[in-house]
Amino acid sequence: MRVFQTLQTSLPRLLANMTSAAAIVVPAATTHTATFIFLHGLGDTGAGWSSISENFRLRRKFDEVAFIFPHAPTIPITCNGGMRMPGWYDIIARKTDFPNLSSSDDEAGMLRSISAINAIIGEQVDKGIPPERIIVGGFSQGCAIALLTGLTSERPLGGIVALSGYLAFRDKIAQMRTEVSKKIPIFMAHGKRDPVVKFAWGEESKNMLVDKLGQQKVTWKTYANLEHSANLQEMNDMEAWMEGVLKA
């Protein structure tokens, strides 16, 4: 509780020092040598996933890592009748066919979000964190943006975490992706009972990364009873992957 209260009290200062973006920021507990940027899903905020860092801090895991959980802007979402909510991009598909990998991507919205995440990455590099020590990840919509950000990055990022999401820009990602991104390690995970982003779409995305794009380091984990959420086994698998990436 004392650790949480200290972080809560110092949050405004940490936000100013760590990133100019609207975000929940958890600083490194020791010397800052790595950064993990994680993007939430549609309708959520960065606070929804900040418990990842709280769990690590309580167990003294990744003390050298600063965690940044950005907040998506509030925008109208077409598939929800134009209702405004936090989103990294619009979902243009109707509810009857969402999410469908063949649906039209909100290219402008996705590109804006990629640019925003690249700005956060740039700030970390300017603070002396090597790109190889920066991991970008996300859940659902955040997963789609994390994948696109990593695959189009000119920097050799340390890794990409892709949870319960899919690969967007399928018709053009081969032309957009950078040569340096081919060696970025990717952790992909998906629940087999996901009713929102269907398991088959996650699996198709993984296959495209490996078979069509030639991504060299993809770790693929599946969970039999998991719906559109996360569970302890998934978090443990992600933790083990992170340990390997940050020790490499």
87 φ/ψ angles, rounded to the nearest 5 degrees? -155, 145
Catalytic residue among 63, 71, 103, 228: 228
Distance CA 83, CA 186 (A): 33
One-letter amino acid identity for 153? S
Of the candidates 90, 105, 106, 194, the residue annotated as catalytic is 194
What helix, strand, coil percent values describe the chain, rounded to 5?
A: 40, 20, 40
| 164 catalytically annotated | no
For residue 97, indicate whether it is catalytic. no
Helix (H/G/I), strand (E/B), else coil: 77 = strand
Question: 50, 53, 113, 140: which is the annotated catalytic residue?
Answer: 140
195-222 burial, b at 16+ Cβ within 10 Å, e below that, comes to eebbbebbbebbebbbeebebeebbbee
228 is catalytic: yes
Instruction: Provide φ and ψ at 69, rounded to 5°.
Output: -120, 90
What are the residue numbers of the active site? Answer: 140, 194, 228
